[in-house]
Copies of this chain bind each other. A is one copy, B any other.
Amino acid sequence: MLESAARGLSRYGYGNLILERVASEAGYTRGALYHQFKDKEDLALAVIDWVDETWREEVGPLVDREPDPVVALIALARGHAVFCRRDVARVAMALRLEFSGQDHPVGRHLRRVSESLVKRCTRLITAGRRAGTIPAGPPARVIALAFIGAMEGAVLELAGQAPHDELLAARAAAGALGIDPDQPSIA
């Protein structure tokens, strides 16, 4: 059910998501859905948490095992690209776009989840700057936002076109960081 809802959310967004389809695609009826989740909002929140958890399990380790901040960030971009080959992963981008500038509970929850990724990237960027591998420039948080945006945008547009998605996500992300994409850790 969660998987079906995630697919639906990533394809149609929250407002256009029809619970009837979510349920039937999972082999159930709407009744079953309302038995498992309080309402549509509750379902969306659960999906966000589920996707976030999956992301942490799948991409997190790739980042953590790299001691060098730049290498870690590039690994993050590559891992994200691979992660996004499952359509499920567009959920974050789709919902963020849909709820940006609004005060909807789903939007708030998504922002909270995303914020932890932004913070993670910001820390890596400041670490990279201290190490001298990331050049000075705009505030680290701004760089982090651009980093995430560029990575997600590239991945979204390539729509899982393996194997180029991985390389290009890494390159776009490296560009946002201001480092040469011709480095060994990227190419």
Please name the residue on chain B nearest to A152 by beta carbon. B153
Instruction: Quote the shortest CB–CB distance from A72 to chain B (angstroms).
Output: 17
A13→B98 contact, CB < 8 A: yes
CB atoms of A146 and B158 under 8 A apart: yes
Shortest beta-carbon distance from A105 to chain B in Å: 15
A137 to B171, alpha carbons, bound, how many Å? Answer: 12
Query: For the side of the interface on A, what is the size category?
Result: 35 or more
* Chain A interface mostly: helix
Binds B, one of A27-35, A54-62, A122-130, A173-181: A173-181
Q: How far is the CA of A41 from the CA of B102 in the complex (A)?
A: 24
Per the bound structure, the CA–CA distance linking A97 and B158 in Å amounts to 12
Tell me if B154 and A150 are in contact (CB < 8 A): yes
Pairwise interchain contact A178-B181, C-beta atoms closer than 8 A: yes
Residues of B within 8 A of A67 (CB): none
Most B C-beta atoms less than 10 A away, residue of A11, A145, A146, A167: A146
Partner of A149, one of B139, B155, B174: B155
Partner of A181, one of B93, B155, B169, B175: B175
Residues 156-187 of A, flagged 1 when their CB comes within 8 A of B and 0 if not, give 11110100100111011111111111100000
B157 A148 Cβ-Cβ under 8 A: yes
A158 B175 Cβ-Cβ under 8 A? no
Are the CB atoms of B154 and A146 closer together than 8 Å? yes
The residue in chain B whose Cβ has the minimal distance to the Cβ of A172 is: B150
A143 contact set on B, CB distance < 8 A: 168
Residue of B nearest to A159 (CB): B100
How distant is A91 from chain B, measured CB to nearest CB, in Å? 11
